[in-house]
């Protein structure tokens, strides 16, 4: 019944969120200041940072102030940033973009690396709008002008763009499909713009904020020890009653989120326990709930009611467990069909749903276990103590 409702709800709201590529471009009014400040923090991103910066510099229709932050990298990230900046200094620059490289060599006490890099760079912002992004994101030439025009048209304080995932394997695609399907249980995208709804979002690849709103919230200085700094900023925007909007980024904003199935597990290592505010009982309950979504349909499709007898009301008086399993499969297939234009995951991948969820449960339990065993979260080679993270996180969203 739950998945049937999910399918109906998503079908009814399938066109509620705009796609960035369908939004109009707009020329910002002439000003002495740049139209948009773009902050690009990077730690050990030597393989991707040059393409990200060159993609931003190829943006047209507005004037950018780009601040690239080399956050304590041990590889050639900083040198690559400087090389792109030098290359740009000698290039034809009709749009008036500027690129400044900021090097951070030490992390002050009481800070996580990325919030510190974002907060430090934001103090240099000259534009009324700030885009916080990552060092491995690909941008189409008109992505930023479309996003800025939409945010201004909506009088938004914050615009989060959901990027297109670049996937190269079936395992990545299967996990992507399952994760998007499960997201609907905790987040209704079409309710984010509703000031009366609890739904919110923040996206590390594309968080566009009005600078005055960012400063009113205390910026990332207020999120010094937040692992999920992008999502938490989205929460702060919604909690403060500011105007939040989202858009799909297919064809406009792209990111390679994970390298294979194991890459998904590794990426979730620092995030999952933080998502549940480091509350062990809540995280374990959520893991069990996700596991049930993988196990129950298979048990039902087996057609044997006896393994389900102990589940109480859920199957009480239901003489055909196989029918219930088939109904859930149909509802899941509908969910996959609705999200296919955004995820590019074929509906046939619904057959991998239980396996993908099993991998996700493993990633959840691994995140919890490793955080507890280490006594904290290891992020970019630095251990952040669990006690400090819990104190900073609070106990709720």
Question: Taking residues 114-132, what's their average pLDDT?
Answer: 97
Measured between alpha carbons, how far is 318 from 305 in angstroms, rounded to an integer? Answer: 9
Residues 203-216 have pLDDT tens digits of: 999 999 999 999 99
Phi, psi of 99 (to 5 degrees): -130, 120
Cβ proximity of 356 and 81 under 8 Å: no
- Second-level CATH architecture of 15-259: Alpha-Beta Complex (3.90)
At residue 246 the predicted structure's pLDDT band, cuts being 50, 70 and 90, is: very high
Classify residue 238 by burial, with Cβ atoms within 10 Å: 0-12, 13-18, 19+.
buried
**Boundaries of CATH 3.90.550.10 in the chain?**
15-259
Cβ proximity of 271 and 228 under 8 Å: yes
| Cα separation of the two ends of the chain | 27
pLDDT for residue 92 = 83
Beta-bridged to residue 98, according to DSSP, are 65
Is the pLDDT reported for residue 308 higher than 70? no
Residue linked to tokens 């993609």: 55
Beta-bridged to residue 3, according to DSSP, are none
Is the pLDDT reported for residue 311 higher than 70? no
For strands 382-385 and 244-248, give the pairing: unpaired
Measured between alpha carbons, how far is 204 from 183 in angstroms, rounded to an integer? Answer: 17
Residues 57-112 have pLDDT tens digits of: 999 999 999 999 999 999 999 999 999 999 999 888 888 999 999 999 999 999 99
CA angle 117, 118, 122 (to 5 degrees): 120
Q: Is 100 helix (H, G, I), strand (E, B) or coil?
A: strand
Nearest to 147 by CA among 135, 137, 161, 133: 161
Q: Is 389 helix (H, G, I), strand (E, B) or coil?
A: helix
Give me 35's structure tokens: 């139209």
Measured between alpha carbons, how far is 293 from 310 in angstroms, rounded to an integer? Answer: 16
CA angle 21, 27, 28 (to 5 degrees): 115
State which H helix or E strand residue 65 sits in. Answer: strand 64-71
pLDDT for residue 157 = 98
Is the pLDDT reported for residue 201 higher than 50? yes
Residues 136-186 have pLDDT tens digits of: 999 999 999 999 999 999 999 999 999 999 988 888 899 999 999 999 898
Measured between alpha carbons, how far is 216 from 242 in angstroms, rounded to an integer? Answer: 10
Return the number of other C-beta atoms located less than 10 Å from residue 236's C-beta. Answer: 22
DSSP character string of 298-358:
HHHHTT-SGGGGGGGGGGTT-S-HHHHHHHHHHHHHHHHHHHHHHH---GGGGGGHHHHHH
Does residue 30 or residue 265 have the better pLDDT? 265
Cβ proximity of 389 and 377 under 8 Å: yes
Give me 186's structure tokens: 């905790």
Measured between alpha carbons, how far is 185 from 271 in angstroms, rounded to an integer? Answer: 18
Measured between alpha carbons, how far is 387 from 308 in angstroms, rounded to an integer? Answer: 41
Q: Is 203 helix (H, G, I), strand (E, B) or coil?
A: coil
Beta-bridged to residue 247, according to DSSP, are 161
Classify residue 383 by burial, with Cβ atoms within 10 Å: 0-12, 13-18, 19+.
exposed
Measured between alpha carbons, how far is 254 from 165 in angstroms, rounded to an integer? Answer: 6
Beta-bridged to residue 103, according to DSSP, are 70
Nearest to 99 by CA among 82, 79, 119, 114: 82
Counting residues of the chain whose pLDDT is more than 90, the rounded percentage is 76
């Amino acid at each position: 019944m739950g998945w049937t409702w999910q399918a109906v709800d998503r079908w009814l709201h399938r066109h509620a969120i705009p796609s960035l590529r369908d939004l109009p471009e707009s020329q910002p009014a002439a000003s002495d200041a740049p139209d948009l400040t773009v902050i690009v923090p990077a730690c050990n991103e030597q393989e991707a940072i040059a393409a990200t910066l060159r993609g931003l510099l190829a943006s047209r229709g507005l004037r950018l102030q780009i601040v690239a932050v080399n956050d304590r990298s041990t590889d050639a990230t900083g040198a690559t940033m400087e090389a792109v900046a030098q290359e740009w200094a000698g290039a034809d620059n009709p749009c008036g973009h500027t690129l400044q490289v900021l090097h951070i060599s030490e992390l002050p006490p009481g800070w996580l690396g990325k919030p510190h890099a974002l907060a430090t760079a934001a103090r240099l912002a000259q534009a009324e709008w700030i885009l916080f992004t990552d060092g491995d994101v690909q941008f189409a030439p008109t992505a930023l002008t479309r996003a800025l025009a939409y945010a201004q048209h909506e009088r938004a304080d914050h615009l989060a763009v959901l990027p297109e995932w670049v996937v190269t394997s079936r395992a990545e695609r299967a996990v992507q499909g399952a994760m998007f399907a499960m997201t609907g249980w905790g987040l209704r995208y079409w309710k984010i713009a509703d000031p009366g709804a609890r739904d919110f979002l923040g996206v590390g690849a594309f968080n566009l904020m009005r600078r005055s709103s960012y400063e009113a919230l205390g910026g990332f200085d207020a999120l010094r020890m937040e692992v999920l700094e992008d999502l938490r900023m989205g929460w702060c925007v919604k909690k403060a009653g500011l105007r939040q909007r989202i858009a799909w980024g297919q064809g406009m904003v792209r990111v390679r989120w994970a390298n294979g199935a194991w890459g998904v597990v590794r990426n979730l290592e620092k995030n999952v326990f933080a998502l549940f505010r480091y509350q062990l009982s809540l995280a374990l309950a959520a893991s069990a709930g996700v596991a049930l979504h993988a196990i129950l349909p298979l048990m039902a499709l087996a057609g044997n009611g006896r393994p389900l007898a102990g589940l109480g009301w859920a199957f009480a008086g239901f003489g055909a467990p196989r029918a219930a399993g088939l109904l859930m499969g149909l509802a899941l297939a509908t969910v996959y069909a609705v999200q296919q234009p955004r995820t590019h995951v074929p509906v046939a991948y619904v057959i991998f749903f239980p396996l993908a969820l099993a991998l996700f449960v493993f990633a959840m339990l691994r995140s919890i276990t490793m955080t507890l065993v280490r006594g904290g979260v290891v992020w970019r080679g630095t251990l952040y103590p669990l006690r400090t993270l819990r104190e900073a996180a609070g106990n709720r969203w």
